[in-house]
Structure 1
């Protein structure tokens, strides 16, 4: 007998590897069919309201429709989650309405861009999170990140909202109809040509019936406009109603960075900068605020003195704000005494910077007293006030809730946009330059040609007051504005400033016939 050979045990089969499910390339959206329908409707509405020579009432109506669609799609549960960030609706509504109020070519892009930022913020925080939990750079990340993610939602809504299977089930019928048309067209063409040559009356009638303009160029343009508007609406709605799989920016407080700079090194830098700022601020106070600053420093003209110092001082103020933020983030403060010394020294740096910023504003005021106001100078004034407010808020948050500086800076930026709109810079320029004319007898009327309808009521009042001393130029300016305003506004283009400008010109008799503003 053959001896039996023991069988070696088979090696254990390897356990099947468990891999994590791959994250889908495209996100998922709740209620895709309703969202797709709302996006298409908003695309049509955007084409109707905004495809105009000028923007006006149509813009706030479109923004209101977009927010209304978002509230409708999100439902009561979505609104409950969005309530902590609902305060964003107030500035969004104001800047949108100001598109229909101001006619300035400076304020229109500023208002539209601000509305776009607020819409992206609202979409990001509709389902969860809080705006005040963002860090300063997180606002930039949220805006551009939301805009980039919004590009993914149009194909998602088409994928989930269109019944592709239903289209496949009717593919045979569609293919049969296509083949029938291919067979029919040549036959109709042959018979049509023969009958056309057989009867002249039939031929002329057929030519009249076929001599219509399809307007393909217009249809293609309108279609592209609707598609673009629907894609933007789909991006905003889809991003707001997305299903969150992970934590996102704003869902939790920003984690503080690990301090890497010693207190002694930081205080050395702070004390040195404070000493430099103190010496410079002392010179500025002595000359600009205490001494005689009615004339520029010796050896300088007004223009040289203001321009040479202004931009440098604004840059110094901006860099100081960045320096304080960096030191606050990276400096080790391990004891209460160290914390107090650091806060006091950085607060002093902020105070000295505010004095430097005030000197920059004083220099600009000297320049304006000498040469008058322009749009750039007025906008720069508001920017400097906003920068000063941000510096002051930084000093406050050094002692109270440092993590709230970012939302305060964001609110300051929004506030500066609203201040510009409420101020009406062009009317402000006309009013103050005419007051300067009453003091000095000098008036630059060339600038008035570049102003918009916002300035027309003030110019009309000025022309009535200065008709004897300044009869020619202001009348020419008003004639120029009259020619611009002769084109009537449609309902989507209606604008408060253009309405008031036409009414002011009508009262002067510039229009011989009544005009419907």
Structure 2
């Protein structure tokens, strides 16, 4: 008499006809992959981590970030495409969350954002691109469509790294189980032979040609405890991030509930009354703003006793906060306002449409204020960045008005984020530090006044514009200070803007460095 068992047999990855549906809450929401990581996944993540350790310049923007982005993207593609085959077809299929077409857009955007460090030297700009790349990377990994799904991806990253590490270990165990005992020895032997060949022939080439020796010295950093620590730190962080990303792609959590655009509904009066009063308040403010916009400088001076520029500065930040809070109010109303009856839908369109349209006028007022203030006092990084954010707010409001046609717009969050990403990339192409320098050079030609301390703090992106300054003493001083604050680059930190700046600075030597530093440090 035979006894049937449900134990795995040799070559089988789970119980017969499994994986079985999980019964725990975490298992139902995030069951994890039913198979270990493939050998290709393990090797790809390890390779990308080594590339990152050797490439990333932690202290500056540079080519190494772009190289690391390409290596990481390639590792995730390999992990997604090459997977462990099923020994026995599963009776229960898990949703692996095959991405939609926009996943490729987010992945490309992530690589391009990190590539900005190759042609722009402004550290603040690259920091913004780096932070935005984490958002686009999360959007590329998750298959959810709402902001809550993206936020959940951030929150699950530590757990994904932990579970992903165990997933990778199972993959390594599988590799050892499938291969013979001599595989590690052959790998070590191959590595040793490769190192020996490169060392012998590389040493001969270095001694034979001085140009090759210089290239080799630039490519291979000086080995020191700090360098080894940096390699271990960067490689370890990269391995953790790629492991978490690969695990989330192989076993995305169920985010269907988070993607729902509608929540618990409130009574019609509960939302219509406060928002209608808010619309009346906005309308009163807009009427006054139109009077100021058309009245111009004379109206402000007679009414408030301020210059037009002072008046513009006094309210810009408040209007930016108003715009941001209005977007939050619109999102809440769209989620909780009822829309089952025709009267509900009409009321929703009228109230939210009026609020969005009035907020657009406020956005125009804020941008006009900033334009006036910039014409008077000059352009700065903060003023330029905030004006770009305010313009993006206006674009989102236009999207809200378009979404009001059909009431329901699940596409709105991702399209709004995509517009913000494209705006940031457009700002990178436009060269913000160069625009600021051009603005101050133009103002100097008109007023014969210049802010040397502020301009000297700009990045090498501003050097081509500053080279056009008519005053030779100011020009040479600014170029000298920026040049001395620009470090030499290895291939990891190579940057087009810094390379161009060095060539321009070499053409304008400074004859009075003491006077220059006194002018720059006078504040």
> TM-score with structure 2 length normalisation?
0.74
- 2:466 corresponds, among 439, 444, 459, to 459
**CA separation of 1:227/1:287 partners in 2, compared to 1, >3 Å: closer, same or farther?**
closer
- Give the gaps of 5 or more residues in structure 1: 1-18, 171-212, 512-517
- 1:60 matched to which residue of 2? 66
**CA separation of 1:422/1:353 partners in 2, compared to 1, >3 Å: closer, same or farther?**
same
Are 1:40 and 2:46 an aligned pair?
Answer: yes
- 1:506 matched to which residue of 2? 506
**CA separation of 1:257/1:215 partners in 2, compared to 1, >3 Å: closer, same or farther?**
closer
- 1:274 matched to which residue of 2? 279
**CA separation of 1:441/1:230 partners in 2, compared to 1, >3 Å: closer, same or farther?**
same
**CA separation of 1:439/1:288 partners in 2, compared to 1, >3 Å: closer, same or farther?**
farther
What CA deviation, in whole Å up to 9, does each residue of 1:60-119 have, x standing for no partner?
A: 111111112222232289999445221213322321221211111211111111222222
Name whichever of 46-55 and 420-429 sits farther off: 46-55
- 1:97 matched to which residue of 2? 115
Give matches, 1:136-175, under 5 Å: 136-146=147-157, 148-162=159-173
Whether the 8 Å contact between 2:146 and 2:413 is mirrored in structure 1 is: yes
Name whichever of 284-293 and 76-85 sits farther off: 76-85
Distance 1:271 1:214 in 2: 68
- 2:514 matched to which residue of 1? none
Are 1:119 and 2:142 an aligned pair?
Answer: no
Distance 2:376 2:22 in 1: 71
Distance 1:26 1:330 in 2: 31
Give matches, 1:312-331, under 5 Å: 312-331=318-337
Name whichever of 56-65 and 90-99 sits farther off: 90-99
Distance 1:496 1:472 in 2: 26
Whether the 8 Å contact between 1:333 and 1:339 is mirrored in structure 2 is: yes
Measure how far apart 1:138 and its partner are: 3.0
Give matches, 1:192-211, under 5 Å: none
- Give the gaps of 5 or more residues in structure 2: 1-20, 85-95, 182-221, 512-523
SS for the counterpart of 1:152 is helix
**CA separation of 1:163/1:138 partners in 2, compared to 1, >3 Å: closer, same or farther?**
closer
Distance 1:295 1:444 in 2: 28
Whether the 8 Å contact between 2:381 and 2:433 is mirrored in structure 1 is: yes
**CA separation of 1:484/1:215 partners in 2, compared to 1, >3 Å: closer, same or farther?**
closer
What CA deviation, in whole Å up to 9, does each residue of 1:284-325 have, x standing for no partner?
A: 111124534696553335665334311211111111221122
Are 1:391 and 2:397 an aligned pair?
Answer: yes
Measure how far apart 1:427 and its partner are: 0.6
Whether the 8 Å contact between 2:310 and 2:373 is mirrored in structure 1 is: no
- 1:206 matched to which residue of 2? none
- 1:187 matched to which residue of 2? none
**CA separation of 1:95/1:294 partners in 2, compared to 1, >3 Å: closer, same or farther?**
farther
> TM-score with structure 1 length normalisation?
0.75
SS for the counterpart of 1:429 is helix
Distance 1:107 1:151 in 2: 32
The alignment yields a C-alpha RMSD, in angstroms, of 3.4
Measure how far apart 1:223 and its partner are: 3.2
Whether the 8 Å contact between 2:265 and 2:336 is mirrored in structure 1 is: yes
Whether the 8 Å contact between 1:261 and 1:330 is mirrored in structure 2 is: no
**CA separation of 1:234/1:103 partners in 2, compared to 1, >3 Å: closer, same or farther?**
same
SS for the counterpart of 1:96 is helix
- 1:478 matched to which residue of 2? 479
Distance 1:431 1:164 in 2: 59
- 2:196 matched to which residue of 1? none
- 2:384 matched to which residue of 1? 378
Distance 2:149 2:134 in 1: 16
- 1:228 matched to which residue of 2? 237
Distance 1:224 1:292 in 2: 57
- 1:408 matched to which residue of 2? 415
Distance 1:279 1:316 in 2: 14
Whether the 8 Å contact between 1:437 and 1:443 is mirrored in structure 2 is: yes
**CA separation of 1:216/1:299 partners in 2, compared to 1, >3 Å: closer, same or farther?**
closer
Are 1:285 and 2:285 an aligned pair?
Answer: no
State which structure, 1 or 2, has the greater radius of gyration over its C-alpha atoms.
1
**CA separation of 1:381/1:147 partners in 2, compared to 1, >3 Å: closer, same or farther?**
farther
Whether the 8 Å contact between 2:76 and 2:242 is mirrored in structure 1 is: no
Measure how far apart 1:235 and its partner are: 2.0
Count residues with an aligned counterpart. 433
Whether the 8 Å contact between 1:36 and 1:234 is mirrored in structure 2 is: no
- 1:427 matched to which residue of 2? 434
Measure how far apart 1:135 and its partner are: 2.5
Distance 1:364 1:216 in 2: 50
What CA deviation, in whole Å up to 9, does each residue of 1:347-403 have, x standing for no partner?
A: 111111111121122222222122111110000110100111111111111113422
